[in-house]
Structure 1
Amino acid sequence: MILRSLGTRISLYGLVGIVAAAVHASVLIGLGLLLPLWLANPLAFLAASLAGYLGHSRFTFRPETGGARFARRWLLIQYLVNLAVCSLLPLLLAGLLAPPLELAVLVFTPTVLNALIWSRAAHFSLRRRSLGIRPRLHADDLGLSTATNQAILALADAGRLDGTSLLVNGPAAVQGAADWMSLKARRSDLQLCLHLCLTEGPSCAAPELLPDLVNRRGHLQLSFGQWLLVSLLPPPHPRRRRISTQLGLEIQAQIARFRQLGGDGPIHLDGHQHIHLVPVVLETVLALAERERITWLRSTEEALPTGLPLLCWWEALRQAGLLKWLVLQLLSRRARRPIRRRGLISNQGFAGVLFTGQMAGVPLEGAWRELQCLPRQADPAADHPAMAPLLLAHPGARLEGDLSAEGFGLSQPFAASSWRQREWQALSEFVG
């Protein structure tokens, strides 16, 4: 049975290869009448690669793909690898081998590489079809405004959210926390996290204790970039030591405020603008973890989703989502080991940076699908709900008023965007 299966697969692989070669020859002949050979041949090879991409996913590796296409990244990998090999291999082999042997290497090396690439693509597809644990839907910025509170509470009450993060220095934090705790009395599985805020809004510690962190109005003033620059200073540097001391006071004050609003107990912590992952902030949080009973920190390690239209990727590039994704990938990976060393836990998957603020429609569905396809961890402890993959959104009702007056000028354009209502609507209708 195994030999028959292997023979069938080899036969299908060969047939698809013949079709791809025929496509290459046909397109090359046609384009050769209009274009120079140096341009016609790569275009013909691209057509042949596309034929192989479709044929191998639909026929050769159908047991792994279920008849669906490979992720497009495999087509790109196959094309670039083959172009590089076909360009460089003749130069590397020049004069090293006898002509018949050299010809054999030139012919069969791309064939072997293609077999490896499509096999890896098939394995990738199979892994994605083996569903892991259900992701958790999470909303940030409870307490930012009554509009944000309205959307988050409505979604949670309808069973469309699993958790939220409380902005304790937000203008509507008191009412938002009170309403959430009332809801939690009926749904004990709801998670409330501290949304550590260090870039805007009034400080929770006395402003006179934070001369480097606040402006004359007592509002937190260091941007994400400025916090990163502080992190680049050596630990003994006077400015870094001074800011770290003040930072510890503000974090403790926000934790105390969170406990007043959300009840006593272990702290699950994340960050407004993911500030908790900036090295100097992370170090301070971890130093306080045991004393303040911080047991969970959010990871933003986000796998790139597959199957999205090219327009989505253009928007991610245009809106700087890809840049934010890259920065936070690096920070999350750097944070992974210190978090584990302190005995804290974190989510085992994440989505919500790449398309920040636009988690509706195709991006929402693609992110959910990607998180569902994450493999289960071998460690039985990984089944803990707090370690489930996390899908982040920022729903909100129509904003009335200006948050800038409350010290949240950075969040004003984001909160006022019509995307807040689109995300609310998308989550209301979403069936995971």
Structure 2
Amino acid sequence: MRMTPVLSRLLRYGVVGGTAAAVHIGVLLLLGQWIALSLANPIAFLAASMAGYLGHALLTFREETGGRQFARRWLLLQYVVNISVCALLPLLQAPTLVLVFTPTVLNALIWSRAARFSAKARQQERGQPPVLHADDLGLAEGVDAAIIDLAQSRRLQGASLLVNGPSAAHAVEAWRDLAEPPPLTLHLCLTEGHRLPNCPDLPTGFGSLLLASFLPWQRRRIAPQVSTVLQQQISRYRQLTGLSQIRLDGHQHIHLVPLVLDAVLDLASDESITWVRTTRESMPEGLSLRLWWRSLQTGGLLKWLVLQLLSGLATPRLRRAGLATNRRFAGVFFSGSMFGTAFRRNWETAYSSSEVDRASQPVVLIHPAIPDAASGMDQEAFQQSVAFFSSTNRQKEWTSARQL
């Protein structure tokens, strides 16, 4: 039987309140062995207040807060009010019921008020919607069909072209036929599909290229090959699209690896590279434990940690080089499963009222495809993508984007 929202809220409030009370008792008993109870009790009460402050924001009132903490002033207010009332009531010889229930009622009022302020603040923050972007245009007809469909319905504001993909030429033709084609981006691919005979030593794994970035002898050997592949794909991109200026990102975010980013920055001026994608991604708000577990299982959390670091290193270098980039991003934490609630939470988190310039607008990344998209791929050249696009999750991402 499904619980009503009121009953669910009361149950969550009780769980958090009980946990806070347990924290209070546990800390009090622990500290009471070494210091006077008159000193131990305020410390224990502070620990309980912090438990309630976090628990009510993240659990009880998560619909209002979106999974964010309350402003810290609410913790200070709750602590001061409760300490004052608990000290005053015994002096007034208040009845036992008043002593027991007054703090509970006060806490309910304080946290409810904090939740309303959080909801109001979140509403004020919402402004320009993020840019919905799809990767891997040109990888296969089933991928292209989903991306073109989203662009036709104007739900998609950009796509990245995999220039060495088997359907790249047909995909560009279909893109040109759109009434208002969104911007295209070069999807630099080093981990699969480049097949250049003069690059025999180029690693085909993200981890291998990342490791090579920190080994000087590897950098010297591999850097010229990275530059060769980049120039080949830029040339192919211009041949297919006729565009002179280059917006750039990377298949599996390979462009953020320091060794690869070096090549991008070295060629930026000569090749008219104007924009490079970064992946500074805020934690999605209001996630259930099930979604946290999904991200952990699929490796999204680990990817997120690595790419947060790499984007943090890349962003100041891009700015010094005069290249534009997005300021926010969503799509790594649930890479491979950006559908349903996970997609909605990422979309809501990416909203921003300050980034009105398109170059810096938040980017929400998806990998959509129609059913059986992997069957049309070059399975020898794109082995990693075959496994990725064989999942039904690609169809779910397409469906979630269509429901925007």
Shift in Å, 1:363: 1.0
CA offset digits 1:136-179 (Å, max 9, x no partner): 11000001111100100111111110110000111211111211
> Is 1:425 equivalent to 2:403 in the alignment?
no
Deviation at 1:47, TM superposition (A): 7.7
Cα 1:404/1:376, change in 2 over 3 Å: same
Aligned counterpart, 1:180: 175
Verify the 8 A CA contact 1:142 1:165 in the aligned structure 2.
yes
Letter in structure 2 aligned against 1:391: V
Would the aligned equivalents of 1:324 and 1:354 in 2 still touch at CA under 8 Å? yes
Q: 1:132 to 1:244 in 2, by over 3 A?
A: same
Residue 388 of structure 2, aligned match among 414, 420, 432: 414
State how far apart, in whole Å, the 2-side matches of 1:281 and 1:120 are: 45
Query: SS at the partner of 1:270?
Result: strand
Unaligned runs of 5+ in 1: 1-18, 59-64, 82-114, 214-220, 378-382
Q: State which of 310, 318, 324 in structure 2 corresponds to 1:345.
A: 324
Please list, as runs of the form range in 1=range in 2, the aligned pairs for 1:146-295 lying within 5 A after superposition.
146-183=141-178, 186-188=179-181, 190-203=182-195, 207-213=196-202, 221-234=203-216, 237=217, 239-295=218-274
How many residue pairs end up in the alignment?
338
* CA–CA distance in structure 1, aligned partners of residues 386 and 344 of structure 2: 27
**Aligned positions of 1:84-163 closer than 5 A:** 126=121, 129-163=124-158
Structure 2 distance, partners of 1:175, 1:282, is 29
Partner Cα separation in structure 2 for residue 338 and residue 27 of structure 1: 50
Post-superposition Cα deviations, 1:325-364, rounded to whole Å, max 9, x if no partner, equal: 0000000010011101111101121100000121111111
Contact 2:132–2:364 (Cα < 8 Å) also in 1: yes
SS in structure 2 of the partner of residue 165 of structure 1:
strand
Return the alpha-carbon distance in structure 1 between the equivalents of residues 374 and 276 of structure 2: 32
State the secondary structure of the residue aligned to 2:129: coil
CA RMSD, 1 decimal = 3.7
Cα gap change, 1:48 to 1:429, in 2 (>3 Å): same
Amino acid across the alignment from 1:181: R
Q: Which amino acid aligns with 1:376?
A: S
Task: Tell me which moved more, 239-248 or 161-170.
Answer: 239-248
Please give the alpha-carbon distance, in whole angstroms, between the structure 2 residues aligned to 1:133 and 1:389. Answer: 9
Change (3 A) 1:44 1:312: farther
- Contact 1:71/1:121 (<8 A) preserved: no
**How far is the alpha carbon of 1:201 from its aligned partner?**
1.1
Q: CA deviation at 1:51?
A: 5.3
Aligned mates of 1:180, 1:341 — CA distance in 2? 33
Once residues 127 and 401 of structure 1 are traced to their aligned partners in structure 2, the CA distance between those partners, rounded to angstroms, is 44
SS of alignment partner, residue 340 of structure 1: helix
Shift of 1:246: 1.4
User: Percentage identity across aligned positions?
Assistant: 41
Identify unmatched segments of 5+ residues in structure 2.
Answer: 1-12, 31-40, 77-109
| Counterpart for residue 102 of structure 1 | none
Residue type at the aligned position of 2:383: G
Work out whether 1:74 is the aligned partner of 2:63.
no
- C-alpha distance in 2 between matches for 1:147 and 1:160: 18
**Post-superposition CA distance 1:167-201 (Å, at most 9, x none):** 01112111112111222xx205x010000000001
Work out which of the residue numbers 373, 379, 395 in structure 1 matches 2:368: 395
Please state how far the C-alpha of 1:57 moved relative to its aligned partner: 10
CA positional deviation for 1:37:
5.9
TM-score by length of 1: 0.69
Q: Specify whether residues 281 and 126 from structure 1 end up closer, same or farther in structure 2 by C-alpha distance, changes over 3 A only.
A: same
Q: Is the 1:166–1:193 contact (alpha carbons within 8 Å) kept by the matching residues of 2? A: yes
The aligned amino acid for 1:231 is S
Post-superposition CA distance 1:25-63 (Å, at most 9, x none): 99559x99xxx966xx999998866655687999xxxxx
